[in-house]
């Protein structure tokens, strides 16, 4: 999906419009003058002064349509932008904060104005008419969100958990949180239909693509780096590396839409419910085997040390049969789960 026609891309143009206060004050003064013109023109018409007729008509016409200039007044807050088009043609983006005046016939464009991403910085759950889609986005009626401004803030997308098979075929459930922001407003508005839904879809796609490379836990003979050499990469043990690869994959996919992926983090990771109990038993069995192996290794070392100490100090002369009996007794004592109950022998062992 990253292969696109670069000739159709729209490049962002920064607009620096005139100050809004100047236009507002001038338009109010013009209204005052037009009102006085209507009054004096009406008086002149009553007195039979012919030139008063055009004055009356012009001032009355301005009073009727002079409010059009106010349509060009725009208030831009910090970390906001407005993409403007004039009769379908892109003329530029206003990024500077403040009170400005633009062409009153310009139209602000934001195809994602009615879309709110789940757990994002632009979430607003108040009111009615909210519909949650399967990909984690929330669509809201246009009456509730009439603003066409584009937020340039860093926002968080927390898509729904996905059930994905790892490289061994085991189904796992995984969720990610993606921090993102708009860097090129023209690309975000004109290169894709809805840049928020596009981002959500690309997050799901990248997540599935990367997770399928890794096993849930360390597994033998698995190459997760693509160099042809088996490694110890896993979803559970290499979470930071996996998240970094997911971020890079998403960034590659959404660069065409003028978006920047700041960070990606794994927020949830677990086996799917249908195999979770079996995998838990497997992990417990593996832990028990590892613990027993460590106990046996330590016990053998202690028995060897005891035999060497007895021989070196000349406490007694043990033949092979007595050594075997001592080794057996010490291993039972050291490797047993319960405390040993010794039997005191007052005679010979023969």
Give 291-323 pLDDT, tens digit per residue: 778 888 888 888 888 877 777 777 777 777 777
247 pLDDT tier (thresholds 50, 70, 90) = very high
The predicted-structure confidence for 45-71, as pLDDT tens digits, reads as follows: 767 666 777 877 888 888 888 888 888
Rg of the chain over Cα atoms, rounded to whole angstroms, equals: 38
**Domains of the chain as residue ranges with CATH:** 6-107 (no CATH), 152-271 (3.30.479.30), 280-335 (no CATH)
Say which residues have a Cβ less than 8 Å from residue 33's Cβ, sequence separation at least 6: 59
In 3D space, the residue among 208, 158, 161, 209 whose CA is nearest the CA of residue 179 turns out to be 158
89 pLDDT tier (thresholds 50, 70, 90) = very high
Classify burial at 333, counting beta carbons within 10 Å of its beta carbon; exposed 0-12, middle 13-18, buried 19 or more: middle
Residue 148 has what pLDDT? Answer: 86
Helix (H) or strand (E) holding 171: strand 171-182
Query: What is the rounded distance in angstroms from the CA atom of residue 30 to the CA atom of residue 65?
Result: 12
Residue 108 has φ and ψ, to the nearest 5°, of -80, 135
Read off the DSSP letter of residue 286.
H
Residue 144 has φ and ψ, to the nearest 5°, of -85, -25
């Amino acid at each position: 999906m990253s292969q696109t026609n670069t000739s159709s891309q729209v490049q962002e143009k920064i607009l620096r419009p005139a100050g809004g206060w100047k236009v507002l004050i001038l338009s109010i003064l013009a209204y005052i003058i037009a009102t006085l013109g209507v009054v004096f023109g009406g008086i002149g018409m009553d007195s039979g002064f012919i030139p008063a007729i055009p004055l009356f008509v012009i001032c009355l016409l301005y009073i009727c349509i002079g409010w059009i200039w106010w349509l060009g007044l725009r208030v831009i807050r910090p970390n906001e932008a407005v993409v403007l088009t004039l009769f379908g043609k892109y003329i530029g983006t206003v990024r500077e904060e403040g009170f400005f005046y633009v062409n009153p016939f310009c139209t602000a464009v934001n195809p994602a104005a009615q879309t709110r991403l789940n757990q994002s910085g632009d979430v607003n759950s108040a009111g009615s008419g909210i519909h949650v889609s399967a990909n984690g986005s929330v669509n809201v009626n246009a009456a509730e969100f009439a603003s066409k401004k584009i937020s340039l803030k860093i926002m968080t997308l927390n898509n729904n958990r996905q059930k994905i098979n790892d490289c061994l075929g085991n189904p796992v459930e995984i969720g990610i949180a993606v921090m993102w922001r708009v860097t090129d407003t023209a690309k975000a508005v004109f290169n894709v239909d809805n840049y928020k839904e596009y981002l959500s879809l690309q997050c799901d796609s990248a997540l599935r693509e990367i997770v399928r490379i890794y096993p849930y836990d360390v597994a033998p003979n698995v190459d997760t780096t693509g160099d042809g050499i088996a490694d110890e990469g896993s979803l559970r043990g290499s979470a930071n590396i996996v998240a970094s690869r997911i971020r890079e994959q998403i960034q590659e996919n959404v660069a065409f839409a003028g978006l920047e992926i700041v960070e990606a983090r794994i927020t949830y990771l677990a086996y799917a419910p249908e195999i979770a109990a079996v995998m838990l038993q497997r992990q417990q069995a593996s832990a028990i085997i590892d613990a027993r192996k460590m106990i046996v290794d330590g016990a053998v070392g202690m028995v060897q040390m005891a035999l060497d100490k007895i021989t070196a100090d000349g406490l007694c002369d043990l033949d092979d049969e007595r050594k075997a009996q001592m080794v057996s007794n010490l291993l039972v004592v050291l490797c047993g789960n319960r405390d040993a109950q010794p039997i005191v022998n007052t005679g010979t062992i023969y």
